Structure 1
Amino acid sequence: MTQRLQTRRSFLARAGFIGCSLAASPLLTPVSFAAAPWDTRLVVIILRGGMDGLDVVRPVGDPAFAGLRPKLNDAAPALPLDGYFALHPALGALMPLWQNGELGFAHAVSTPYRDKRSHFDGQDILEAGTTEMTNARDGWLNRLLQHVPGVTAETAYAIGIGDVRVLDGAAPSASWAPNAKLKISPQAVRLAELIMEDDPALHAALSEALMLVDGPAGAKAPRLKGAHRNIARFAAERLRGDARIAAFSQNGWDTHRAQQNNISRSLVELGETVLTLKEELGPEVWGKTSVVAVTEFGRTARENGTGGTDHGTGGVMIMAGGAVRGQQMFGKWPGLDEASLYDRRDLMPTRDVRAYLAWIMHGMADVSQATLERDIFPGLEMGDNPNALL
């Protein structure tokens, strides 16, 4: 432990890392696009850091919920959805979508990843679409493209320096990088994350640093304004044309401390991203579009002592779009009493998040269930169709 701490301190001293401010810019939120012969559109948003689904879609009707999170719930009141669940107020701008049947949620979902709760392993499994860590070099969206005949021009576009691993693979890709100032390379960010992951205090400080840009004389300032909207506008432009699939990521979901402030900022950006997509796509294309937002794992059912939550298991998947059968909660709720929790600490997953993704792809691209279970999501049992699409 002492040697590990010295290694961390040495790295921080050399890089001057904690003092720096890093943009949650498109360079750290890669975007990819893919063109396909069908007429529907799919937008996949990877929420990096482990979004707290119990905060985003609050099970206020569960008798155990209030006692698990007395401080986190002592903020602006949540917005009622169905009498049992309520929406975080920072996503209030999306309530018209819920009321119009264009927004839905699948609760108590996860990938097959369990127990170690590492961002890196969790994100790798999420984007590979596999049941465990493998040597897979491609992502599930790329494998979808490999199994759909007629995919031609503009198969994939990538934005930023880093990869969108969900679209890595044999399908060809091009790249587009927006203007953004980056103070540290993605390789250095990755190294810092690896060094700090086992130390909650350093980990939290890094997460906050990644959400900031330089202000006057090096002072901290809010995130790079408008980057998420620019990504959404560019995505919509491509989707109005030949592109049929867009995938990108958003950072800022690792809320070990000060969660009320940090998750609110991230949720506002996510809501603005969805609404920008709707506006820029226009009614006709939006009516053919499904937007899904997924994360590598949820967070602990109980809040911690620093006003946040730690890495957990079960979480929530967000679905929006004119093609979504919204205004409903999908999935089976396991309950939050201690005996119902996973490892007596996390929300118990009741369905594989890949099943929802697979059924959406089945409906949008007419890919067979056998292909989805065997080739695109190896080891998946899709189960019953949740009928998430119109």
Structure 2
Amino acid sequence: MDLSRRDILKRAGIIGCSLTASPLITPVAFAQAPWDMRLVVIILRGGMDGLDVVRPLGDPAFAALRPDMDNANAQDLDGYFALHPALGDLVPLWRAGQLGFMHAVSTPYRDKRSHFDGQDLLEAGTETLDGRTRDGWLNRLLQQMPGLEAETAYAIGTTQLRVLEGDAPVANWTPKARLGLSPQALRLAELVMERDAPLHAALAEAQMLSQIGTGGARRGSAHLEIADFAAKRLRGPSRIAAFSLGGWDTHRAQGRNLPRSLRALSQTLLGLRDGLGEGIWGKTAVLAMTEFGRTAALNGTRGTDHGTGGVMLFAGGALRGGQVLGQWPGVAEAALYDRRDLMPTADVRGPVGWVLRAATGLDSTTIEQKVFPGLQMGRDPGLLG
């Protein structure tokens, strides 16, 4: 991706809310809706390594790609896939049918593997980034439901996630954070450093290790504060919550760094469940997705680089968990995308579209033409309870 100085400054100012780093900067956004099902969308910024999170131990080629991986404490899921040990606290959700995964998914984004374009396309929900679509797919969903009103705004920061940007009214809230850099300055640093692999890796690790606390809260607890606030709003008239979690850009020392982010994700999901209570959790669908996966093999610094196919996590009592969905392509070299990445076998927008259809009652044609233009939803993948 070639960027002029003007492009960098423009993008840093306009889409500074789309950070790779921290949920402390990205706001939580809410929308009130007349249906009863709750929808939580979590953007996992930085490119989560789905092959490490949901490990295909039954694939004989996987061991050769990750020869030093310690699988002794990985949690067996179905005899073929195993869950990263750092997500062990989520195993009861899996056994209760309230946690599942869809493997080998991606957006239509290919080849350039830029965080910024990848995240923008994920949140726009379109086939390409052509400059004409300025709103996000969740906002376009709300635009199909006339008469909605936004919740009262709870905001320290005022920017929105792109996935909820658009003409439909939404409200914003973000936890109070002590930040050393403004969102624009951090965004600019990420854009400048992305093309320098050592600097990019160092910045990503520094962001993850920063553990910036929130006003009045213990250090590193912003994700818990976000989950608590989201649950409180969803117990009331709000029906949609969207937020991001960072720390997934594991270019080096992935075995040390990835567990931190996975534990935060686990705590967030369990915080949502506990905050919502059994009744509302039973009506909730949580979808966690990332802009792309990572390389199948480790690099020289024991990390992984930007890839293609990845994994989507889904949770909540409204969905049918306890299963790893998707058409598994295998990880033998000949089966990899560009002989380096997990081959995507499904568009991540497809299963999301089926969940939106169930949640709102919108028909498939509206979802394919208005919410996710150009999408063909295909067969129901079986996420719904």
TM-score > 0.5 by shorter chain: yes
Alignment of 1:199-214 (within 5 A): 199-213=196-210
Residues 25, 227 of structure 1: 8 Å contact kept = no
The alignment status of 1:376 with 2:340, answered yes or no, reads: no
Partner of residue 99 from structure 1, selected from 95, 98, 106: 95
Which 4+ residue blocks in structure 1 deviate beyond 6 angstroms? 155-159
The alignment status of 1:149 with 2:146, answered yes or no, reads: yes
Counterpart-to-counterpart distance in 2, 1:274 and 1:78: 19
Q: Which amino acid aligns with 2:91?
A: M
Query: Which consecutive residues of structure 2, in runs of 5 or more, have no partner in the other structure?
Result: 6-18, 213-217
Per-residue deviation, residues 53-87 of structure 1 (Å, max 9, x unmatched): 0000000000100000113x136531100000000
Counterpart-to-counterpart distance in 1, 2:44 and 2:20: 16
Per-residue deviation, residues 281-320 of structure 1 (Å, max 9, x unmatched): 0011000001110000000011111011000000000000
Using the aligned pairs only, state the percent identity. Answer: 66
- Once the 2 structures are TM-superposed, how far is the Cα of residue 339 of structure 1 from its aligned partner? 1.1
Residues 24, 224 of structure 1: 8 Å contact kept = no
Query: Which consecutive residues of structure 1, in runs of 5 or more, have no partner in the other structure?
Result: 8-21, 216-222
Residues 26, 159 of structure 1: 8 Å contact kept = no
Residues 102, 325 of structure 2: 8 Å contact kept = yes
Partner of residue 289 from structure 1, selected from 284, 293, 315: 284
Q: Which amino acid aligns with 2:330?
A: G
State the TM-score, normalizing by the size of structure 2.
0.90
Counterpart-to-counterpart distance in 2, 1:308 and 1:87: 19
- Once the 2 structures are TM-superposed, how far is the Cα of residue 367 of structure 1 from its aligned partner? 1.0
Alignment of 1:60-209 (within 5 A): 60-71=57-68, 73-74=69-70, 76-135=72-131, 136-154=133-151, 160=157, 162-209=159-206
SS at 1:34's partner residue? strand
Residues 31, 159 of structure 1: 8 Å contact kept = no
Per-residue deviation, residues 22-74 of structure 1 (Å, max 9, x unmatched): 99654323211111000000000000000000000000000100000113x13
Counterpart-to-counterpart distance in 2, 1:173 and 1:342: 38
Over 3 Å counting, the alpha-carbon distance change for 1:245 and 1:23 in structure 2 is: closer
Counterpart-to-counterpart distance in 1, 2:277 and 2:351: 26
| RMSD of Structure 2 on Structure 1 (CA) | 2.1
Query: How many residues end up aligned between the 2 structures?
Result: 363
Residues 207, 247 of structure 2: 8 Å contact kept = yes
Counterpart-to-counterpart distance in 2, 1:142 and 1:159: 21
Q: Which amino acid aligns with 2:311?
A: V
Per-residue deviation, residues 103-149 of structure 1 (Å, max 9, x unmatched): 01000000000000000000000000001112211000000000023
State the TM-score, normalizing by the size of structure 1.
0.89
Over 3 Å counting, the alpha-carbon distance change for 1:156 and 1:327 in structure 2 is: farther
Over 3 Å counting, the alpha-carbon distance change for 1:326 and 1:158 in structure 2 is: farther
Over 3 Å counting, the alpha-carbon distance change for 1:318 and 1:99 in structure 2 is: same
The alignment status of 1:43 with 2:3, answered yes or no, reads: no
Over 3 Å counting, the alpha-carbon distance change for 1:282 and 1:176 in structure 2 is: same
User: Could you say which residue in structure 2 is the equivalent of 1:259?
Assistant: 254
User: Could you say which residue in structure 2 is the equivalent of 1:309?
Assistant: 304
User: Could you say which residue in structure 1 is the equivalent of 2:10?
Assistant: none
Residues 108, 315 of structure 1: 8 Å contact kept = yes
Counterpart-to-counterpart distance in 2, 1:385 and 1:158: 38
